[in-house]
Every structure is written in structure tokens, then in C-alpha cells.
Chains A and B, each alone.
Chain A
Amino acid sequence: MPAEHGAPAAKEPEAPLPIGTFGQFLKEHGIETKRLPDSVGVETIELAKSSDLDGAMRLLKSSSEIALDFLITITGVDSQDTFDSVYHLWSYTNANELVIKVLLPKAEVKSGQLPTVASLSRFWPAANWHEREEYDLVGIRYIGHPYLRRILNPWDWDGHPLRRDYRQPIDALNNKAPGSFR
């Protein structure tokens, strides 16, 4: 008869991932980050405080050895409990790549308002249209944007189409579940 095993040990909380090159660089400049699992081999970090975004981006862009000066894209994601603003940074001069995420908890968003994050457009023109697009489609308000208006949808469009709870105008009329096929 096999020895009686005790109750299975409580699952240990996963050890935090070791800090990466860019996380270390930001830490040296006083910006706290948390490493997330790599997205297909690219270092992915989450900013501890969303208010650090502006400073972190300026540092990464202007530093001569890191030189993450190629803003690939800004993505808004409607996750389960958060709205994420995801920044993909590349470099024109070297092979560096970095993904930065800013998580905006849904619980902190007041009803009838949009989640907010600082805009990069003041010092990075490439961010201008990407931020407008994410405002339009996902509904994240980029504070400090010079011209935050809808870019792809008409100016009088109702709602933000890439939200989970978005209902197409016609579906709302027919009382259909969001995302169902017609």
C-alpha cells in the first residue's frame, strides 16, 4: 500500500521573473516596472505606476545606447479587469525591442468616463495618430493629446467598437448578443 500522501502542498506563488535589460535601465532612473512573460522572445514590462509613462518613454527614446526611437504601434486592449495600453518600441539603429504595458484597472474608471493615460504626442509625433485611433476604437483617453478626435469612424459615432460590451447599432435594435453573427 503506497504511503499516505498528505494534503497537496498549497501552490506556491510564482516567483517574480528576473529583471530584464530595459527594466534594469528604467530602475536605475527611478522608474519601477514589473516583468511580464516575454511576448515571443521580446522583453515585456508593465509600469508600476501609469504616471511614469511619460518619463519612461522620454528616457528610452533619447538614451543613445538603448535608442528605442521607433514607435511601432500603440494598442488598446479591453482585457478582463483592465484596459491595457500597449506600446511596441523598436530602434532605427540597433536590434532592441521592447513592449511596455500600462494597465488601467476597470474598477477605477468612473461610470460614464473613459480610462486615462498620458499622451506621448507632445514629444513624439508618431504617437499622434495611433492614440487617436485607440481613442476611437477602444475608448482610452490620452491626456494631453493636441487633437484627440475620432480618426477612422465618423465624428458622431456612438461607442467604441473594440470594447467587449460594444453592440453594433443594428444588433442593439434586434437585441442580439455582442459579437454574434448575422
Chain B
Amino acid sequence: MVGELTELKTTGLKTDEMIINMGPQHPATHGVLRLILTLDGEFVKHTEPVLGHLHRAQEWQGQNRTWFQYQALIDRVDYLSGMFTSWAMARAAEQIDGTVVPERAEWLRVTVAEMNRITSHLLWLGTYLIDLGAMFGFPFYPFREREKLLDLFEEIAGQRMMFNYIRIGGVMRAPKDEWYKKLEHFVHNFPARIDEYEAIVTENPIFLRRTKKIGLLTQAVAREYGMSGPCVRASGLDYDLRKTKPYSVYPKLDFKMLSMNHESKVGDTWDRYICRIKEMRESTKIIKQCLDMMPKEGELTGKKQNAGLRIKAGEGFAAVESPRGVLGCYIISNGSDRPVRFRWRNPSFCNLSAVSELLTGHPIADIMAIFGSIDVILPDVDR
């Protein structure tokens, strides 16, 4: 695409600078984002994202609600990976408070979090293919598997997306025996499903042409902008919190950190796609191990869950590796029933800040291919 257009440009086609609004109601922005594009003919010269259309004042709500009330709200920070937002908050609060989380709860947390990572990547896969114009029914393939996982979430948490399952001190309730069987059945079949997606997409000539060699993210840019998650791992940066700063029971599990392109130190859109596909396979492996190693009896929470829940005075930052990168939260507590300051560190927010670097120099047709590949989720950006 770039080649053909560059050719046209050099053959004397006159171009002019133009400012175009993309969004806020653009279907491919995964939420509500407005991009002010400065175009030179077909090419992007500058991008200015305008945020805040989905701003719900999560930080303000954090310091004006009690711990117990706010626990139920934080799944909305990133609604595709609610388990991770709850987990980040729970970890920060537990570290300040000195709560010991029962081992069984840690295993359950890892299991549901990895399930959530798969659902998040599956949704990304389906919508990304729509962004690229694949309207032939493929997007429903990943949604078929996602639906099964959402059913399992519904059984364990009572909700399909806003789980409120991981609580300060542990998890909410124990799954039934059938739940384990259903999950085992799912992880047994899922690798074959990923093969199915890969057969359709990975080597598809149209897909390759749309995604190869565009949206090049160098390691230098990734570091400068504080990016994290699959985006930087596709550029060969070894950064995965589960390995670099292990938490919970991850040290006991056998899985790989998926970073690619160590020599070139550059990742393109297709690399980011394949990185997520491989991550889903790793997550499946993790869930399998969890099912084998998890204790089926024991305490679920180390802190009493009631409306008067209090956290000791202190401050701390804790983060987890969410499907989009380092998701953390910084809490200052004074020992009362509500935090003094509640600050979110959202991977989408930081990853999106580099979007101007990625888009500059690309034709307008590639914008959605590149933007979609960063896997930004707008509620996570605007909070």
C-alpha cells in the first residue's frame, strides 16, 4: 500500500495539507476516541488524540466511596479485563494492609485471570479482523469460544463482564466441581480452535498485505513512551511482569515470556498479532497447570468481607500484567474506610500516547490496522 502510494506521489501528483477528524463515533476506535489527523494528501503528518469522552472520574469515585463500595466499581476501569483491575487494586490494598492471601485464593486468581486474558485477546482478534474489513464471518469464530469462557465466569462470579470476583484479601466464592470439569474440557479443546484461527488468518495473503511492515514500533520509542504488554514484547523487549517481577503463584508455573524480534528490535503490526495468538496458547497451558496443582479445599479470603472494610494507614503501588500491559494502582490510605488518593496506571493510556509516532508517515487506510494492533481499550484510557 505504502509503495503504490509513494509511487503515485513521486509521479507529480499534487497533494495538499488537510485536517480530518476521525471519530469520536468511529466504529473502529473501540470506544469513543477522536483523532485529529493532519494529512498530506493520503499520508498522516501528525495525529492528535482527543480523550475524555468516556471519562467517569474513577479516581474521584475511588476517594469518595468506601473500599467496599469501590471494589464493585473497578471492573469498569477496563471492562474487557475486569479480573486484572480488581487484582491490581486488591494487591495494592493487601500489601499496605499486610493481609495474607490464602494459597487457594491465589491459585483461583491466576486461573480466572488467565481465562480473562484469553477472553480479552479473543475479543481483540475478532474486532481487529473487522477493523481490517474481514466481514466474512470470521469475527464470530473467536466470539464462539469467548462465550464459553463468559459462561464459566457467570457461574463463578454471577456476572459475565463486571465480575467483582477478586476481592481485597482473596476471592469471592469457590467454584463447584462441575466448573472445573467444564474448564478442563475447554482448555482441552481450545488449542485446536486457535489452530483454526491461525489457518484462516496468519498466512492469509490479504491479512499479510494489510499488516506486514507497517506500524513499526522500535524498542527506543516503546521505552520513551513507557509502553508495556504484548506491543513491546513483539518488539523484542523482555518485559512481562509475570516473569520480571513475579507475583502470586506465577513462579511455580511453567510458561514462556513471549518476546520476539530480538535482533531487529522492531515489531510490526503482524508481530503484535502473532504475539497475542501465542500468548493465548501460553495462557491455556497455565490454566491446565493450575487445574492440576490447585488445592480444592481451603480458605478463600484472608480478610472479612463486609461494608466496614478498612485498610491500615500507608501507601503503596502494585501492578499486574494485564492483557494490555502493566496495570497498576497507587493507593494512599489513612486507615479509614475510604482511601485518601487512588491513582490508576493504565496500560492503554500509556500505549496510546505513542500512537502519533506509529501513525506518522502511513496512509490513511493503514490507520485502523495500526491503531487496532495496539489493543487500546478506551474506558481504560479515560477511566
Which positions in A face B, CB cutoff 8 Å?
A: 39-40, 42, 69-73, 75, 77-78, 86, 88, 92, 95, 99, 124-126, 128-129, 137, 150-154, 161-162, 179, 181
If the complex has contacts A75-B341, A152-B52, A152-B382, are A129 and B353 also in contact, measured as CB distance less than 8 A? yes
Closest chain B residue, CB of each to CB of A95 = B245
10 tightest Cβ-Cβ pairs between the two chains A and B: A126-B226, A40-B316, A73-B345, A152-B52, A40-B95, A152-B55, A75-B343, A129-B353, A39-B315, A71-B226
Q: Which residues of A contact B95 (CB under 8 A)?
A: 40
* B353, chain A: closest CB distance, angstroms: 5
Q: Which residues of A contact B92 (CB under 8 A)?
A: 40
B244 located at the interface, meaning its Cβ lies under 8 Å from any Cβ of chain A in the complex: yes
* B223, chain A: closest CB distance, angstroms: 6
- One of B289-297, B301-309, B324-332 contacting the partner: B324-332
CA distance A124 to B239 in the complex (A): 19
Could you list 12 A-B pairs, sorted by A, with CB under 8 Å? A39-B315, A40-B96, A69-B223, A71-B226, A72-B319, A73-B343, A75-B343, A78-B341, A95-B244, A129-B353, A162-B59, A162-B60
Interface hits, B323-356 → A, CB 8 Å = 326, 328, 330, 332, 340-341, 343, 345, 349-350, 353-354
Q: Which residues of A contact B343 (CB under 8 A)?
A: 73, 75
In the complex, the answer to whether B64 meets A179 with C-beta atoms within 8 Å is: yes
B250 located at the interface, meaning its Cβ lies under 8 Å from any Cβ of chain A in the complex: no
Summed over the interface, the residue pairs from A and B with CB atoms below 8 Å come to a total of 81
* B228, chain A: closest CB distance, angstroms: 8
Q: Which residues of A contact B326 (CB under 8 A)?
A: 72
In the complex, the answer to whether B52 meets A151 with C-beta atoms within 8 Å is: yes
In the complex, the answer to whether B57 meets A161 with C-beta atoms within 8 Å is: yes
Interface size of B as a range: 35 or more
CA distance A69 to B244 in the complex (A): 15
In the complex, the answer to whether A92 meets B239 with C-beta atoms within 8 Å is: yes
In the complex, the answer to whether A77 meets B316 with C-beta atoms within 8 Å is: no
Q: Which residues of B contact A153 (CB under 8 A)?
A: 52, 55
Partner among B225, B330, B349 whose Cβ is within 8 Å of the Cβ of A75? B330
Which positions in B face A, CB cutoff 8 Å?
A: 51-52, 55, 57, 59-60, 63-64, 92, 95-96, 223-226, 237, 239, 244-245, 314-319, 326, 328, 330, 332, 340-341, 343, 345, 349-350, 353-354, 382-383
In the complex, the answer to whether B330 meets A88 with C-beta atoms within 8 Å is: yes
In the complex, the answer to whether B353 meets A70 with C-beta atoms within 8 Å is: no
Given contacts A73-B328, A77-B332, A153-B52, 4 further A-B pairs with CB under 8 A are A75-B343, A126-B350, A137-B59, A161-B60
If the complex has contacts A92-B239, A152-B383, are A129 and B349 also in contact, measured as CB distance less than 8 A? yes
Q: Which residues of A contact B341 (CB under 8 A)?
A: 75, 77-78, 162
Closest chain B residue, CB of each to CB of A179 = B64
Partner among A77, A126, A154 whose Cβ is within 8 Å of the Cβ of B353? A126
Q: Which residues of B contact A73 (CB under 8 A)?
A: 317, 328, 330, 343, 345
* B342, chain A: closest CB distance, angstroms: 9
Q: Which residues of B contact A124 (CB under 8 A)?
A: 224
In the complex, the answer to whether B353 meets A128 with C-beta atoms within 8 Å is: yes
CA distance A39 to B133 in the complex (A): 48
CA distance A99 to B64 in the complex (A): 25
In the complex, the answer to whether A126 meets B225 with C-beta atoms within 8 Å is: yes
CA distance A162 to B63 in the complex (A): 9
Closest chain A residue, CB of each to CB of B316 = A40
Q: Which residues of B contact A71 (CB under 8 A)?
A: 226
CA distance A40 to B245 in the complex (A): 14
* B103, chain A: closest CB distance, angstroms: 21
Q: Which residues of A contact B340 (CB under 8 A)?
A: 77
In the complex, the answer to whether B349 meets A40 with C-beta atoms within 8 Å is: no
In the complex, the answer to whether B226 meets A154 with C-beta atoms within 8 Å is: no
CA distance A71 to B55 in the complex (A): 23
CA distance A115 to B346 in the complex (A): 25
Partner among B237, B316, B319 whose Cβ is within 8 Å of the Cβ of A92? B237
